[in-house]
Structure 1
Amino acid sequence: MTDYDVIVIGAGSIGTPIAMACAHDGLKVLVIDKYPSVSQGDNKHAIGGIRATHTQKAKIYLCQRSIEIFSTWKEKYGDDIGWVQGGYTYVVYTKEHEALFKQNVKLQKSLGLNIEYYGPEKIIELVPGIEQEGLLGGTFSPEDGSASPLLALNAFYQQAVKNGAEFKFNEQVTRISVDNHKVTSVTTDKGTYSTQYVINAAGGFGKEIGNMVGLDLPINPTSHEAAITEPVKHFLDPMVVDIRPCEDNRFGHSKNYYFYQNNEGQIIFCITPEPPFYGHDHEETSSFLPQIAKRMIKLVPRLKNIKVRRTWRGLYPDTPDGAPIVGKVKEIEGFINAAGPCGQGYMLGPGLGELISRLVRDELNDHDKIILDELSLYRDFGSVEMLK
């Protein structure tokens, strides 16, 4: 039986960067995934947005490092991962949201983020053709951006393999063996592998992996739908986010929605349904397009004639407070969670990968300790991030 320092369960947005970082740092790494290749779970359903403009220190620190990795990848390794540093813009049409975002900006700037609250004139410049009636302003964070989830994860995978990580695809984890409260091995439908550490990076199935060692992780996946249009001449730089709720008795209520134009000129968009759709359902619905199209066209009327090429549905591995569960557990030595990213695994992944490697090697820095405290399994889940 082959012995590994680290076995990562899941070759997606978080598991692949963990493997890349751990292997780079000299650890013997095995990644196990039930799908036939890297990034075939919910990473391929991600729309590609990457931002550090959160309202929680842990996410800010992780995503600041992620942006450094995404933005310098081509220069450092030569792979074009579709990185575009177009920024993020949250649009504001109510006094309540104006006060909220101005409060958020103060916090975000105090943590070193490059973000400002602007009046309507700047937002009209950033989002050409935006509905001007009632527009009060919005935020803009120019260092945020986007990249192709499939291109990026494939690049991370290639680098992980180059660093010495092993990947076993088409293998289903069936058991995690524990002896005297310590992880000893992982068994799949094809073999058994001994290890010192098991990393739970199983995305929407993180709860099930936790159950294998007797942990009841508060992860409850919800389904979200997204779509992509035909390519058109570039006109939009930032990701545009509208957090206003919408009541629609015909096609369904919704919370926020967001869209951007990628490096190939296509508009990619997604919406948060209300109430949430809990479970592992990946089947598209007939209500999604009329629901979100009505909102997008009202906000930016010039979008009305763009043709939609396809839609899809993916999972957000949600936790009660909208933040991932990261770190060692008290009950089982050698079991580490990097699970429940709440739809933000793609932007958190590269930063999380390096953190997990330092955690395994016992080389944590001051920021790491803050992150692990805020994202601990044993935290109070009742405090929800303002813009989760």
Structure 2
Amino acid sequence: MTKAYDAIVVGAGSAGVPTALALGQKGVKTLVIDSHPSPGQGQNKHAIGGIRATHSDPGKIIVGMRSLKILSTWQETHGDDIEWLRGGYLFPVYRDKEEAILKGFLPVQKQYGLKIDYVDADKIVEIVPGITRQGLMGGTFSPDDGSASPLLANNAFYRHALGTKKVDFHFKEQVTGITTDNAKVTGVTTDSATYSAPVVIDAAGPFSRDLGKFAGVDIPVFPDCHEGAITEPVASFFEAMVVDLRPAPGSKNYYFYQSRHGQIVFCITPDPSILGTDTRETSVFLPQVAKRMVELMPRLKNIRVRRVWRGLYPMTPDGSPLAGWNQEIEGLAHVTGMCGQGFMLGPGMGEIMARLITDELTDNDALVLDEFSLYREFGGTEGLQ
């Protein structure tokens, strides 16, 4: 017997679970399907936890600010401790090039309501004691950004989605097909059942391209491997996420912060990109990123690393998400290609997707969906990817 739903979400990760919660809150009978045994067991658990509205494009700023509001007030609103820490995001500047880039973003960031300023070197040292002072010119700081636990947050969304009594989750099921009739979605098949629905939402992250093939559409999302790590806990001495935009051989930017429990959590952007789905740790990552971090903050040198891991960024050609209706298959929607920013964009995007499905879009939603359209011209990259 085929069970009927109003909407089916494929993927119980950083975008899929918030989307299901928002749909359930609107009374939409929703099924979430995921091949893992529980929510957030794909790429969500590989996220390092940074949450920012500090982007350079209007759509990301809008979504990021809404996500910040949701996550920063979650415990107050819902009672779940998701380890929110308001530490801000700091972009230190040591070269004219980065200064020009960051100052160039300020007008649009402030236009869309982001609390951010370019501050001098003394302020940078105050925010991050021990940062290398030689050559430090200043930088941008956005104090309302922060961090939280991806797994705790995703599980909180999951529990509250169940609490709406409108959302079902089916784990350990692999989607094997998207069923259509005259280019209209009718449901999905899995390795154990068939489900009907007029709407299927692709929240499959790095595997969206494989999912799209079931409906005969090509989704330009490509898995890109990134590694992260965490140290032993030490007494707190800074809270901001520090992002160094300067490139180095084999890498672009890198970033790190101290969690609420005292560990230093960090990641680096490899250059060139490492495409594929191999999530085994490498011997390259730790020496590469540690050298750069210690040069920037020498006091980190004696802290011991406890664990490293490797996850997948679902990358698009221009580093911005894909969201909205598919124009080739009626009833197929996408909220994917978050390019490693699913945790910080997922809550806001979940609400937009729910309004898309229920035909309640706002003007800001339309701006975001236009910027994230699958059918945009992919040129250049987002400035603060």
**Bin of the TM-score, shorter chain as denominator length:** over 0.9
Query: In structure 1, how many angstroms separate the alpha carbons of the residues matched to 2:124 and 2:362?
Result: 38
The amino acid of 2:321's aligned partner reads P
SS at match of 2:5: strand
Sequence identity (%): 58
- Deviations 1:259-312 (Å, cap 9, x if unpaired)? 000111110000001111001110000111111100000000000010110000
Structure 1 residues 8-38: Cα deviation after superposition (integer angstroms, max 9, x where no partner)? 0000000000000000110000000000000
SS at match of 1:355: helix
Query: Which residue in the other structure is 2:159 paired with?
Result: 158
1:257 positional shift: 0.2
Choose from 141, 166, 169 the match for 1:167: 169
Structure 1 match to 2:190: 188
In 1, are the aligned partners of 2:233 and 2:261 still within 8 Å (CA)? yes
Q: Is the 8 A contact 2:58 2:108 kept in 1?
A: no
Give 2:315's aligned residue.
318
Q: Which amino acid aligns with 2:203?
A: A
Give 5+ residue unaligned stretches, structure 1.
248-252
1:305 aligned counterpart, secondary structure: coil
Q: Measure, in 2, the Cα distance between the counterparts of 1:78 and 1:276.
A: 40
CA distance in 1, matches of 2:38, 2:319: 28
Q: Distance in 2 between matches of 1:9 and 1:72?
A: 27
Distance 1:23 1:369 in 2: 22
Aligned to 1:176: 178
Equivalent in the alignment of 1:120: 121
**Which amino acid counterpart does residue 159 of structure 2 have in structure 1?**
Q
Residue identity matched to 2:367: I
Q: In structure 2, give the amino acid aligned to 1:212.
A: F
Amino acid at match of 1:7: I
Deviation, 1:383, is: 3.3
Q: Which residue in 1 is equivalent to 2:339? A: 342
**From 189, 200, 208, the counterpart of 1:206:** 208
Is 1:355–2:352 an aligned residue pair?
yes
Query: Does the residue aligned with 1:222 lie in a helix, a strand or coil?
Result: strand
Residue type at the aligned position of 1:321? D
Measured in 2, the distance between the counterparts of 1:74 and 1:386 equals 32
Q: Distance in 1 between matches of 2:168 and 2:31?
A: 5
Instruction: Please provide the CA RMSD for this pair.
Output: 0.7
Instruction: Determine if contact 2:318/2:378 at 8 Å carries over to the other structure.
Output: yes
1:143 paired with 2:144, answer yes
> Aligned letter for 2:184?
K
Q: 2:243 matched to 1:241? A: yes
> What amino acid is aligned across from residue 15 of structure 2 in structure 1?
I
Name the SS of the counterpart of 1:122 in structure 2.
Answer: helix
Letter in 2 for 1:373: D
Partner of 1:99: 100
Q: Find the counterpart in structure 2 of residue 303 from structure 1.
A: 300
For residues 100 and 380 of structure 2, what CA distance do their matches in structure 1 show?
A: 20
Letter in 2 for 1:63: G
Q: Which 10-residue stretch deviates more, 331-340 or 99-108?
A: 99-108
TM-score by length of 1: 0.98
Q: 1:135 corresponds to which letter in structure 2?
A: L
Tell me which moved more, 309-318 or 209-218.
Answer: 209-218
- Separation of aligned partners in 2, 1:267 and 1:135: 22
Match of 1:282 in 2: 279
Is 1:385 aligned to 2:382, yes or no? yes
Is the partner of 2:73 in helix, strand or coil?
helix
**For the residues of structure 2 that align with 1:175 and 1:276, how far apart are their CA atoms?**
30
1:99 and 1:221 mapped to 2: Cα distance? Answer: 31
- Once the two structures are superposed, the pairs formed by residues 226-237 of structure 1 within 5 Å of their partners are 226-237=228-239
**Helix, strand or coil at the partner of 1:368:** helix
Q: In the aligned structure 1, how far is the partner of 2:382 from the partner of 2:47?
A: 21
State the partner residue of 1:223: 225
TM-score after normalising by structure 2: 0.99
- Partner SS, residue 272 of structure 2: coil
- Give the distance between the partners of 2:144 and 2:177, measured in 1 at CA: 42
**Matching of residues 71-86 of structure 1 within 5 Å:** 71-86=72-87
Amino acid at match of 1:82: E
Aligned to 1:250: none
Partner secondary structure for residue 277 of structure 1: coil
CA–CA distance in structure 2, aligned partners of residues 210 and 68 of structure 1? 32
How many pairs were matched up?
383
Amino acid at match of 2:89: Y
Cα shift at 1:324: 0.6
Is the partner of 1:199 in helix, strand or coil?
strand
Question: What residue number does 1:273 align with?
Answer: 270
Equivalent AA in structure 1 for residue 111 of structure 2 = S
Partner of 1:275, secondary structure, is coil
Q: Tell me the equivalent position of 1:364.
A: 361
Work out the CA distance in 1 between the residues paired with 2:362 and 2:163: 26
Unpaired segments ≥5 residues, structure 2 = none
Matches of 1:106 and 1:301, distance apart in 2: 34
Distance in 2 (CA, whole Å) between partners of 1:301 and 1:87 is: 21
Runs of 4+ in 1 over 6 A off after TM superposition: none
Q: Distance in 2 between matches of 1:212 and 1:54?
A: 33
C-alpha distance in structure 1 between counterparts of 2:346 and 2:101, whole Å: 28
- For 1:332, which of 320, 329, 335 is the aligned residue? 329
User: 3-state DSSP class of the match of 2:134?
Assistant: coil
- Output the CA distance in 2 between the equivalents of 1:163 and 1:174: 28
